[in-house]
Structure 1
Amino acid sequence: MQISQRVRAILITPNNHLLMIKRLRENFAPFWVTPGGETLPTDGSLEAALQRELRAQLGFGIQVEIANPVLNLEHILEEDVVIQQWFFICYLGAGGVQPALLNSDASIYALETVHLAASALRTLNI
C-alpha cells in the first residue's frame, strides 16, 4: 500500500484570525482548504515540507512559527493509496503574506481570513 503524506497549516494571523485558501472551480461550490500540500522525499521532515509549501503558496518572505502537529487524518484515496494529513498549529509573523502562485488553469485560489469564532467557522465548506 502506498502512503502519500500531506502537511497542512492551521495558520493563525497576528489578529487571531484563521488564514484559509478559498478555492473557486467552475461547476463546484466554493470551498476552503488550509495552506499546505504534499511532502517530497527531499524535505527531510514534515516541518520542512510545510515551510516549503507555505513559502510557495504565501510568499517566500513569509515568517511562520510552526508548533507540533495537533491532528493526523488518514483516508483511502484509491484501493492501494492512503492519504495521511498532518495538521500543525502555525502562527503568522509580522509582514503578512504575498501570494506566490494562487491561480491555475482549473481553479482560482483566494486567500481569506476567517474569525476563529465557532459561528464563523461553521459557515465554511471545508
Structure 2
Amino acid sequence: MTERVRAILTTPSHTLLLIKRIRPGVPVYWVTPGGKVETSDVTHEDALRREIKEEIAGEVEHLRLLHVLEDDEDRQHFYLVPISTWSFEDRTGPEFSQEGRGEYLLEEVPLTHEALDAVDLKPEEILPILHQALDKGLLTPAL
C-alpha cells in the first residue's frame, strides 16, 4: 500500500490553497498539495513538509491530522496546515518538469461551502470531510 500525505492549506485571508490540474483529455480538477511518502522521510509530517516545499516553496510549522482515506492501493493522510508564505514560481517538484503531465495552477479558494462545491476536488471523498471541518471551525487558520 502506498502511503501519501496531503495538506489542507489554510491562509490568513481565509482561503484554501488548491492545485488546479489541467491535463489533455481529462476534465479540469483540483487537488490538495502533497504526494507519496518516500523512504527517506522519517515521518508522515516530514514527508508533507518536503512536499509543501517542493510544490509551493512553502514553509509550515503546525500540522494536525484531519482524516485518513484508504482504498486498495493508497492510504492518504490529510493534515490541516496553516500557511502564511509560499511561492508557486519557486516550486521544485519533479512532476512540474515531466512532459505530458499537463498544467499545475495554484488557486486560492474561499473557505465557504459554496466555493468548495464549485471545484471538482479529488479525491471526492475528502469534500464531506472538509464541509464538516468548516462547520466545526477547524479550517480557520491559527497562525
Q: TM-score range by the shorter chain?
A: 0.7 to 0.9
Contact 1:37 1:50 in 2 (8 A): yes
For the residue of structure 2 that corresponds to 1:66, the secondary structure is coil
**1:15 is matched with which residue?**
13
**2:116 is matched with which residue?**
121
Residues 47-78 of structure 1 show CA distances to partners (whole Å, capped at 9, x for unaligned) of 0000001111011xx222332211000012xx
Contact 2:52 2:59 in 1 (8 A): no
Contact 1:9 1:35 in 2 (8 A): yes
When normalised by structure 2's length, the TM-score is: 0.76
**2:23 is matched with which residue?**
25
Structure 1: gaps (5+ residues)? 77-81
What is the aligned length?
Answer: 116
The correspondence for 1:84, drawn from 49, 68, 75, is 75
Say yes or no: does 1:75 pair with 2:71. Answer: yes
Q: Which has the higher contact order (CA 8 A, sep 6+)?
A: 1
Matches within 5 A, 1:103-114: 104-106=98-100, 107-114=102-109
Distance 2:24 2:88 in 1: 25
Q: 1:109 to 1:103 in 2, by over 3 A?
A: farther
Deviation at 1:42, TM superposition (A): 1.1
Structure 2: gaps (5+ residues)? 122-143
For the residue of structure 1 that corresponds to 2:12, the secondary structure is coil
Contact 1:32 1:124 in 2 (8 A): yes
When normalised by structure 1's length, the TM-score is: 0.86
Distance 2:32 2:22 in 1: 14
Q: 1:42 to 1:103 in 2, by over 3 A?
A: closer
**2:56 is matched with which residue?**
58
